[in-house]
Amino acid sequence: MSLVHRLATRRWAVLSLALSPVVLAAAETTAPVATPVQGVLTLNATATVDVPQDWMMLTLSVNREGTDAGAVQTQLKQAVDAAVAEARRVAKPGQVEIQTGAFSVQPRYNQKGQLNGWQGRTELTIEGREMATIAQLSGRISSMTIARVEYGLSREAREKVEGEVSAQAVARFRARAGDLAKQFGYGGYAIREVNVSTDGAVVPPPMPYARAGMMKAESADMALPTEPGKGSVTANVSGSVQMK
């Protein structure tokens, strides 16, 4: 290669390197800028259905105290065993179900902080659709007293209502989206994203523990009064639509 040709090649390389930053800078300044999305509407709609509560939850409890922890534990076990034996006579899956609860024995102290005995507590829950059977059972169990009474919806009833209330909420969402699109001067809309959720509220009637215990002591053969009332299942639909 001649000297003139080598010099020409070097000058071209230097010129190329000098121009490269300029080309890159031009490319950076001409990058497209994202255009903000226009005509997007965010909204939500809800629907609620009231339905008779078909599930009863009865919680029984027993408390024992004494100077010997083992004796207290034995008394608690005897009490819950007697209650379970009585409940098993009418137990049926989905109709009358039994479940034992917390079982605890703790030390008891006097005002001086000295150990002066032991106290224990245990629970038994009886629940199901056969409310009348559960109510009568509460009157036959004498070894424990009523702690709480709650009402709710069975899984089958809730699933049936959830489908109905979700359909109502979706219809309201679509109608509201269409109305608002027209108010903004658009002819219609297309759904961008949507979320559907359901929530069931259970409000148990208040029954103080002390009053429940007195009621049991006054008449062990009386069935527990039941009034399940109604519960509500709510569906919520939220999301965004593209008005067009």
Q: What percent of the chain has pLDDT over 90?
A: 66
* Most confident by average pLDDT, 25-29, 180-184, 222-226: 180-184
Q: What pLDDT score does 1 carry?
A: 55
In a domain, 39, yes or no: no
Question: Is 13 within a domain?
Answer: no
H/E stretch holding 217: helix 209-218
Average pLDDT score over the chain: 83
Average pLDDT over every residue of 57-62: 96
Whether residue 72 lies inside any domain: the answer is yes
Let me know: does 149 contact 207? Beta carbons within 8 Å: yes
DSSP secondary structure, 162-186, as one string: HHHHHHHHHHHHHHHHHHHHHHTT-
Q: Which residue has the tokens 């917390």?
A: 102
Q: Which two tokens stand for residue 179?
A: 């109305």
| Phi, psi angles (nearest 5°) of residue 153 | -110, 140
Residue 155 C-alpha from the chain's centroid: 13
Q: Report yes or no on 119 lying in a domain.
A: yes
The yes-or-no verdict on residue 215 having pLDDT over 70 is no
| Cβ atoms of residues 237 and 156 within 8 Å | no
Does residue 92 sit within a domain? yes
pLDDT band at 191 (very low <50, low <70, confident <90, very high): very high
- Distance in angstroms (rounded) separating the CA atoms of residues 119 and 72: 7
154-185 per-position pLDDT tens digit: 988 888 899 999 999 999 999 999 999 999 99
Please say whether the beta carbons of 236 and 142 come within 8 A.
Answer: no
Whether the CB-CB separation of 119 and 105 falls below 8 Å is answered with yes
Number of domains in the chain: 1
pLDDT mean over 98-106: 94
H or E element in which residue 5 lies: helix 3-29
Average pLDDT over residues 102-130: 95
- 186 domain residue, yes or no: yes
The C-alpha atoms of residue 207 and residue 185 are separated, in whole angstroms, by: 56
Does a structural domain hold residue 34? no
- Mean per-residue pLDDT for 206-229? 56
Rounded Cα gap, residues 140 and 143, in angstroms: 9
Please give the residue that has the higher pLDDT: either 30 or 98.
98
Q: Residue 184: which domain range?
A: 45-243
